Structure 1
């Protein structure tokens, strides 16, 4: 792949708006780990499955590649600071941010538009990323506007 093609691909993907999520898990010592993700999608309804992508270069990649459970928090438009925190390498991501244990042992944020708890089914190798496939154990939602990432910046959804 040429540098020009890589730049064109990045520019093309920046035109695709994505919902902003914080993905959480506990490491083997019970320490909370998490990262911001926009590559989250439903895969199947029967059984309910979702897919989350994570860069292999992430410091928490091995935790998520091997965890038994993980949570997906779909962020509200007001949660830009939380999204930025979880996108910052080396930041204290859980200090005072309000995450709470879900009913299946994951970490969920009460202000998120949706909290989805998953049992990890598989981690699939995909180039410089891993695809985390999870079976949904529980999901809850609350009203609000979503936070999206488009054109390399956080944005709100506006009705057409």
Structure 2
């Protein structure tokens, strides 16, 4: 039995995912970025994260050859930034909402969190490359994150009895 691409896509659309913007700067100083939702922590020791990038993306070469990159985890009100960094043929950095942050990489100051990474490894992931980054700096804010589920941006709803990740007793 083989699953069709449509069946796989429909099933994966049901999985809530963080909305991130990955950024880097190439050797010539050009800034690159893309919106990604396949992002996760990988290891505590050493601190590793992963993000997946399509092999046909215009940003692929810049990221797979980068020395470092940053993952900006977007806040609930930043869907416009996610859309812009997902669009082809646009100036993704033109709005001026990225500034040099950790490691001098383009960062989004109002992001829920930022992790600056050195490129640890690039792993084959079928039609994607898995970028594994060793986290060298991180920042965490207080705002609610932006989530993508069912092909739309959503805000997570707090679970009753939970306060900032801790159970209320």
- TM normalised by structure 1 equals 0.95
1:130-145 equivalences in 2 (<5 Å): 130-145=129-144
Asked if 1:71 is matched to 2:70, the reply is yes
1:69/1:105 contact within 8 Å kept: no
Provide the C-alpha distance between the structure 2 equivalents of 1:17 and 1:48, rounded to a whole number of angstroms.
Answer: 23
User: Which runs of 5 or more structure 2 residues have no equivalent in the other structure?
Assistant: 160-169
Match of 1:53 in 2: 52
1:44-80 Cα distance to aligned partner (Å, 9 max, x none): 0011000010001100100001100000000000001
User: Which runs of 5 or more structure 1 residues have no equivalent in the other structure?
Assistant: none
The number of residue pairs the alignment matches comes to 159
1:1-160 equivalences in 2 (<5 Å): 5-160=4-159
1:83-134 Cα distance to aligned partner (Å, 9 max, x none): 0001111111001232111231321110101011000011111110000000
Runs of at least 4 residues off by over 4 Å: none
Q: Secondary structure at the match of 2:23?
A: strand
- TM normalised by structure 2 equals 0.90
Structure whose alpha-carbon radius of gyration is higher: 2
Provide the C-alpha distance between the structure 2 equivalents of 1:66 and 1:103, rounded to a whole number of angstroms.
Answer: 19
Q: Secondary structure at the match of 2:136?
A: strand
User: What is the CA RMSD across the aligned residues, in angstroms?
Assistant: 1.3
